[in-house]
Amino acid sequence: MAKFLAVSGSIRQGSYNAELARYMVRRAQEKGWDAEYIDLHDYPMPIFNEDLEQEQKPGCALELAKQFAAADAVFLATPEYNGSITPILKNTIDWLTRQGQGAFSHAIFGIGSVSSGALAGVMALSHMRDILSKLSALMAPTPLGIGMGATAFDENGEIADPRVKARADKLVDELTSIKR
């Protein structure tokens, strides 16, 4: 069975991006995929530093890198912090690239951002695309930006705006149909 992972670059309680990642998991499951939400809170890693690689490499980084390497599709959601992705997501990516598992060489990657403002995390999405392209990750063509996060989801975790929902579903279709 094909494997789908969704990760949120926010670990705060009530995160809109975690809600988006869970939405994507449900949609992938509806398509028959083995889909899982990865909570970065469960993978604590120190700030990346090459001096730590030999003596204090976090075991959870290797575990997560193996999950990424085994996945067929990975969706990354991030809020926009000061015009970029979150520090926890960037730190996770940095650690995963140092594990020798090919964490970014097998899966198709999709990106999304939910912001509390109207601009829908466009700068974070741009930076995420730049980072993933430097890692030679294959990207699905549709980025998913969602603004006004406080009203973006209904009480059941469904995307409230039908146009945004259609775009999210299109991204799930891309992630579950593109073959590497």
Model confidence pLDDT, tens digit, residues 11-66: 999 999 999 999 999 999 999 999 999 999 999 999 999 988 887 889 999 999 99
What is the tally of helices (H) and strands (E) in the chain? 6, 6
Per-residue model confidence (pLDDT) at position 180: 66
3-class SS of residue 169 = helix
Alpha carbons 131 and 122: distance in angstroms, whole number: 14
Per-residue model confidence (pLDDT) at position 116: 87
The tokens of 18 are what?
């975690």
pTM attached to this predicted model:
0.96
**C-alpha angle 9-121-77 in degrees, rounded to nearest 5:** 30
Percent share of the chain, pLDDT over 90: 91
**C-alpha angle 134-142-73 in degrees, rounded to nearest 5:** 65
pLDDT tens track for 113-122: 999 888 889 9
Residue 178 has pLDDT above 90, yes or no: no
pLDDT tens track for 143-165: 999 999 999 999 999 999 999 99
